[in-house]
Homo-oligomer: A and B are copies of this chain.
Amino acid sequence: MTEKKLTLQLDFHSGLPIYTQIVTQIQSQLANEILKPGDQLPTVRALAQELRVNFNTVARAYRMLDEARIISTQQGRGTYITEIPPPEVTKKLQEETLIELTDRFISEAYRLGFTEREVSQMVRDRLKVRKEAKVREKE
C-alpha cells in the first residue's frame, strides 16, 4: 500500500513556523524520493497528533502544498502526492510526457467513436472556456 509513516522533525524553537517546516520537509522528502508520486500522506489529524500540533496547522501546510500542485487534498478522501514529474526531469522528458498524455486522450476519444474534427473542436472549445473563466475570476 501507499501508506507512509512520514517522520518529520520539527524544531519548535527555531523561529520558523510549524507549517513552514512541514512544507519544506515534505518537499525535501519528495525531492529525495522518500515520498513518491501517488503516495498517500497521513490525514491532517493523524499527522497533527504525531507532531503534537493542531490539525489546522497541518491543514495549512497541506493547503500550501496543494496550491503549489505538489499534493492533492480531497475532502472526505485524503491527501496524495501528485504525479508531477520530479524537478530534475529534462524539458525533453516533459515533452514526452505531454505526447503520452495527448495520445492517451486521443485514443480514448477515438475509441468512443469521436472523429478527429470533433476532438479538435472540443479541445479548442474547452481551452477557451478555461481562459474565459480565468479572466472572470480576476474581476
Contact = CB atoms under 8 A, between A and B. Distances in A.
Contacts of A98: 109, 112, 114, 118-119, 122
A4 to B, nearest CB: 14
State the copy count for this chain.
2
Interface residues of A, number: 44
Nearest to A130: B106
B112 A120 contact: no
Given A31-B112, A94-B113, 10 more contacts: A13-B38, A85-B112, A94-B112, A98-B119, A101-B108, A102-B105, A102-B119, A102-B122, A106-B126, A116-B127
Interface of A: 13, 15, 17, 28, 31-32, 38, 69, 72, 74, 76-77, 80, 82-85, 94, 97-99, 101-103, 105-106, 108-109, 111-114, 116, 118-120, 122-127, 130-131
